[in-house]
Amino acid sequence: DTVVRDEELPVLPPYTTRDKFNSAMAALSRILGASNVEINDKPLKDGWYIEHPNTHDAYHLLPATDSVSSAACYPGSTEEVSAVVKWANQYEIPIFPISIGRNLGYGGAAPRVRGSVVVDLGRRMNKVLKLDGENYSCLVEPGVTYYKLYDEVKKSGLPMWIDPPDLGGGSVIGNTVDRGVGYTLYGDHFANHCGMEVVLPTGEVIRTGMGGLPGPDNTDSPTWQSFQYGFGPYYDGIFTQSNFGIVTKLGMWLMPETEHQTFMVTFPRDDDFGDIVEVIRPLMVKKILGNVPQLRNVIQELAVTGKPRSAFWKGTGRMPREVIREHASKMPCGDCAWVFYGTVYGTKEQIADTLKICKVEFGKIQGAKFIFPEDVPPDHYLHSRVSVCSGVPEIRELDWLNWKPNAGHLFFAPISPTKKEDARTIYEIVLKIHQKYGFDMFPTYCINTREMHYIANLVYDRNDEDEKQRAMACMREMIDECAKVGYGEYRTHILLADQVAQTYSWNNQALMKFHEVLKDTLDPKGILAPGRSGIWPAKYRNQGWEL
C-alpha cells in the first residue's frame, strides 16, 4: 500500500514555478513555524482508516499519484488560518482545507487540484471549547472527532448524546460542512448545528448566527449556540459543500440521553422494497420512527460480517441471488431480501407503544419478521447499530470493505422522495448499470422523513486498474441516468463533483452561474479549494480542469 513516485517532488500547484513555490513555502514556514509545514515528498502510504494519509486519497480512484498535495500545513488558531489564507492569496497557491481528512468514499484528504497545499486544521485545532449541559450544546474546533466529542461528554457526566455517522473517526466539522448524516434524532447534522466561525477566502473572519453579536467584555455571545439564524441573511448554508470559507469553530446541539430500542425487521421478497418504503413514510412523517433508519439489501448482511466475498463464493462477476440466499438462510436474518434497521426512543412505555405500532405497520408486508439485539449473537452487526443509534461512535461499518482485496469504495447517493415509485425508478437504474459494469450492488436507503438518501456503495479493488475504470464509468452512468429522470446526488466524490454539479442545470445552469459570481467575489485569486463541489474560480474555468 505504499506508492514510490518517480517524478520531481513535491508536485507543484498549477500557475507557479518551483522557485516561486519554494519561496512561498519558506514564507509559510516563517508564519507557522517550520515544524508546522510538511512537504509531501515521500512515498504515498494508503495506511488504513485510523492511520490515514493527509497527502492523497487513500481510496484512490485515479492513480494514487494523481490527486496529491504539494505539502500540508498545521495552523494552530483562527488567526493562523487567516494568515495561511492571506499567504495563499499573496503567492496564489491553491489550498485545500481538511478537518480530519477521512472523507473516504468522497475523496479522502485529496485536494481536487494537484499540488494544492492541504491545510490540515484538525492536527492542532482539536478542542471541545464548550459543553453546555443546560442547553445541550457544544462548540468544537475542526480536529474534534466523534470519538473525541463522545469522550468529553462522557467525562463531563452530562446526560447528553452525540450523533455519530457510521464511522466515528471523522470530525464533527468536516462531516457537517459536507452535510453528512448520522442516525439518532439529530441525524441531520446541518439542521442540528448552531453557529459558525468562518475564515473567508481573503482572510477576514466572521461569526454567523448570534455569534455576530459579542458578549460583554469580549466574551462569546451568550446565545451563539442557542439560536441558529441571528439577524439579517442567514449564511451558514453557503459554507457547506462549497469553497467559500474555512470553518474554524462550529456549534452543535446535543441530544438528551434517553431510553432506546434498536431492532431489525426482515422482509422476504426482493420486490417488496417499494411497499416497505410506503410503510416507512407515514411512520417517519408522524415521528413514530424519529431517527434516520436504514433499509438495506440482504447482501449487506453477508458483507458486514467482515468476511471477504470469496468466503461466500469463488465465482467471478456479480454474486448470484441464490448464493446470497443460501448464506443468508444460515444467518440470523434468515432467507430474506431486505433488512430494516430502526431505533425508537422515549420512556420504556413510549418505546413499548411505538414498537406495537411498528409491528402492526411493518406486519402489512407479508412475512415481515422482527429481530431484537437479544436474538442475535454478540458479534452481529445489529449491536453496532445499537451503539451508533444511541450516540456511541463505532468503526464496525468498515468491515464491509473486506468484501474485496485492497478495497476502496465510492458512494452513489441520489435523493429520492420517500415514495414507492421513486424508490423503484432509482433502484432499477442502479441495478441495470451495476449489472452492465459487473458490480455487486449494496443499496442502503437512509430515510430522512420526506426523502431518502439512496446510498449505493460501490466496492472496488484499488490494485485493479480495469475495475477502477469500470467503477468510475458505472458512477458516471448512474449520475447521468438518474439526472435524466429528475434525481440528483446530495453529495459526491470530489472527482465527480463537476458532473453532479452540472446536473443541477435548471434554467440554463443558472445555479452554476450564481456559484461562480459568488466564488469570483469572495475568492478573487481563486485559492480556496478550487473545483470543490464543481465550483471553479475564474482562473481555472474552461482551462480543462473540469472532469
Ligand X SMILES: Cc1cc2nc3c(=O)[nH]c(=O)nc-3n(C[C@H](O)[C@H](O)[C@H](O)COP(=O)(O)OP(=O)(O)OC[C@H]3O[C@@H](n4cnc5c(N)ncnc54)[C@H](O)[C@@H]3O)c2cc1C
Binding stretches for ligand X (CB under 6 A): 96-106, 109, 121, 142, 165-167, 170-171, 173-175, 177-178, 180-181, 246-247, 397-398, 529, 532
Judged by CB, which is closer to ligand X: 272, or 397?
A: 397
Alpha-carbon distance of 537 to 427, in angstroms, equals 36
Closest CA to 265 of 349, 375, 413: 375
Q: Smallest distance from the beta carbon of 233 to a copy of itself, in angstroms?
A: 4
Full 3-state SS string of 458-523 = EEEECCCHHHHHHHHHHHHHHHHHHHHCCCCECCCCHHHHHHHHHHCCHHHHHHHHHHHHHHHHHC
Q: Closest separation between CB of residue 68 and a copy of itself, Å?
A: 25
123 binds, among a copy of itself, ligand X, none (CB under 5 to 8 A by kind): none
Compare residues 19 and 349 and give the one whose CB is closer to a copy of itself: 349
Supply the DSSP symbol for 188.
B
**What distance in Å separates the CA atoms of residue 546 and residue 544, rounded to the nearest whole number?**
6
From ligand X, a copy of itself, none, which one binds at residue 281 (CB under 5 to 8 Å depending on kind)?
A: a copy of itself
Per annotation, catalytic residue among 74, 91, 106, 136: 106
- For strand 71-73 and strand 117-120, is the pairing parallel, antiparallel, or unpaired? parallel
177 binds, among a copy of itself, ligand X, none (CB under 5 to 8 A by kind): ligand X
Among a copy of itself, ligand X, none, partner that 178 touches (CB below 5 to 8 angstroms by kind): ligand X
CA angle 287, 293, 297 (to 5 degrees): 140
Residue 126 vs 135, nearer CB to ligand X: 126
Which one-letter DSSP state was computed for residue 219? Answer: P
Nine cell digits for residue 534: 464543481
Q: Least CB distance from residue 369 to ligand X, whole Å?
A: 25
Q: Which does 181 bind (CB under 5 to 8 A by kind): ligand X, a copy of itself, none?
A: ligand X
Q: Which is nearer to a copy of itself, 38 or 489 (CB)?
A: 489
371 vs 388, which CB is nearer to ligand X? Answer: 388
Crossing angle of the two packed helices 348-362 and 273-285, in degrees rounded to 10: 150
Tally of CA atoms within 13 A in the half-sphere of 338 that contains its CB: 22
Q: Which of 112, 490, 532, 540 is catalytic?
A: 490
- Contact of residue 440 among a copy of itself, ligand X, none (CB under 5-8 Å per partner type): none
**What CA–CA distance (Å, rounded) separates 59 from 494?**
12
Q: Which of 102, 281, 491, 532 is catalytic?
A: 491
Residue 481: CB atoms within 10 A of its CB come to: 17
**How long a stretch of residues is the chain?**
547
Nearer to a copy of itself, 376 or 518 (CB): 518
How far are the Cα atoms of 53, 86, 239, 365, 530 from residue 204, in angstroms, in the given order? 29, 9, 14, 56, 19
- Of the two residues 116 and 221, which places its CB atom closer to a copy of itself in the complex? 221
With respect to a copy of itself, which residue has the nearer C-beta, 193 or 462?
193
For residue 222, the partner it binds in ligand X, a copy of itself, none, with Cβ less than 5 to 8 A by kind, is: a copy of itself
Least Å distance between CB 410 and a copy of itself? 16
Neighbours of 3 (CB within 10 A): 14
Classify each residue of 182-209 as buried b or exposed e, where b means 16 or more C-beta atoms within 10 Å of its C-beta.
bbbbbbbbbebbbbbbbbbbbbebebbb
Nearest distance, CB of residue 531 and ligand X, angstroms: 11
Exposure string over 518-547, b if 16+ CB within 10 A, otherwise e: ebeebbebbbbbbbbbbbbbebbeeeebee
Question: 198 with 246: CB under 8 angstroms?
Answer: yes
Coil, strand or helix at 421: helix
Closer CB to ligand X, 194 or 368, in the complex: 194
Q: Measured from the CB of residue 221, what is the shortest distance to ligand X in angstroms?
A: 20
Closest CA to 457 of 439, 443, 445: 443
Chain mean position to CA 420: 26
Under 8 Å between Cβ of 93 and 526: no
Q: How far apart are the first and last CA of the chain?
A: 26
Catalytic residue list contains 460: no
Nearest residue to ligand X, scored by beta-carbon proximity: 170
Question: 490 an active-site residue?
Answer: yes
Instruction: Work out what residue 102 binds among a copy of itself, ligand X, none; the CB cut-off runs from 5 to 8 Å by kind.
Output: ligand X
| Catalytic annotation present for 269 | no
Q: Residue 235 phi/psi, 5° resolution? A: -95, -20
Q: What is the nearest approach in angstroms of a copy of itself to the Cβ of residue 458?
A: 19
Catalytic residues: 106, 490-491
